[in-house]
Amino acid sequence: MTDDPKTRPNRRDLGRVFNEVPEIYDRVRPGYPDELFADLATITGIDDGSSVLEVGCGTGQATHSLAALGWSVTAIEPGDEMAALARRRIATFGNVGVETSMFEEWDDRGRRFDVLVAASSWHWVDPSIGWQRAHDVLRPAGWMALLGNVVVRRAWEPEVYAETADLHERFCPGNPDWGHPPLEDDVPTTAEGWGLVDDPGGLFGPTIVRWYPTVQWFDGDGFADHLRSLSSYRSLDRDVREPLLDAIAERIRTRMGDRASRRYLSVLRVGQRAG
């Protein structure tokens, strides 16, 4: 299950949705492989003197990787608590700063950047404003880069949603977010371009797409904490969410040997600024 633009909370609620659980979010959400950032550097040609704008940095998982490569990073995050945790994460770097704002309302103060990076966050930005703003804050020949993690499954491997479908229906019947992730081998052939977000039209050139398989392993309680960090579960009433997650944790313990995988295809989507 992924954050779907059709079912997400109002964008202005983003800080509240994730700001409630920044430590859990930071502990259980997947990062991105080093190979992805190496490919980002190769494709865009950015080097130690390049400037990066990161939109929706969360707790700074991708921010840390960007800063570690020596790039000058300005990161934007609308949630106060998330931004505070990101500042702690990158405190040892002198080449990065975190500003608390929504991208649509952010004061760029005339600054222009070589690359704009959004890691699992661009679907929260208003597309009627975001794409044009991205184009405007990039230097000529600058690059737009969307990073993401697509949840996938393997046909021969026990999978949490298959094992807990009855629990989901019992506690929250008919929720459109419930369902099996796609098969790992099917995703790269059906999710090219900019993915699920709105298309930028002619503002950016053809999209380069790269995929990277990754996996997390959890016990029952850890998987329940992971679900607590997802918008589809955070939007449930607490009286529904917590009994559901307790039941899922117990099912993982009793039916899956207290070990469950969360498989992803990490994805890098890069396009150059047009005009």
> Using only C-alpha atoms, what is the Rg of the chain?
19
How many CA atoms within 13 Å lie on the side-chain side of 182?
A: 13
The residue with greater pLDDT, 247 or 58, is: 247
Which residue ranges make up each domain of the chain?
A: 11-153+182-215+264-272
16: confidence class by pLDDT, cuts 50, 70, 90: low
Tally of CB atoms within 10 A around 252: 24
| Token duo for residue 233 | 């579960």
Instruction: Please name the amino acid found at residue 65.
Output: S
What Cα–Cα distance (Å) separates residue 96 from each residue in 15, 71, 88, 230? 21, 8, 12, 27
Q: 3-class DSSP state for residue 135?
A: helix
Q: What is the dihedral of CA 60, 55, 201, 44, to 10 degrees?
A: -60
Residue 33's closest CA among 10, 65, 79, 80?
65
Per-residue pLDDT reduced to its tens digit, 39-54: 999 999 988 889 999 9
Instruction: Please name the amino acid found at residue 204.
Output: F
For the chain, how far is it from start to end, CA to CA, in angstroms?
A: 37
Contact 139, 114 (CB under 8 A): yes
Quick one: pLDDT at residue 107? 96
Q: Return the beta strands (E) in the chain as ranges.
A: 51-55, 72-77, 96-100, 113-119, 138-152, 208-218, 260-272
Per-residue pLDDT reduced to its tens digit, 213-239: 999 999 999 999 989 888 888 889 999
Ordered alpha helix ranges (H), the chain: 14-19, 22-28, 34-44, 61-68, 80-89, 127-137, 160-171, 187-190, 220-228, 231-234, 238-255
7: confidence class by pLDDT, cuts 50, 70, 90: very low
Contact 251, 220 (CB under 8 A): yes
Degrees to nearest 5, angle at CA 131 with 138 and 53: 40
Residue 132's closest CA among 211, 67, 203, 194?
203
CATH 3.40.50.150 fits 11-153+182-215+264-272, yes or no: yes
Give the whole-angstrom CA distance, residue 86 versus residue 99. Answer: 10
Quick one: pLDDT at residue 14? 45
User: Which residues, 6 or more positions from 226, have their beta carbon under 8 angstroms from its beta carbon?
Assistant: 28, 29, 216, 218, 262
Q: What percent of the chain has pLDDT over 70?
A: 90
Q: What is the mean pLDDT of the chain?
A: 89
| Token duo for residue 201 | 């039209």
Q: Strand order of the sheet with strand 72-77?
A: 96-100, 72-77, 51-55, 113-119, 138-152, 260-272, 208-218
| Token duo for residue 84 | 């505070």
Instruction: Please name the amino acid found at residue 160.
Output: V
Per-residue pLDDT reduced to its tens digit, 63-114: 999 999 999 999 999 989 889 989 999 999 999 999 999 999 999 999 999 9
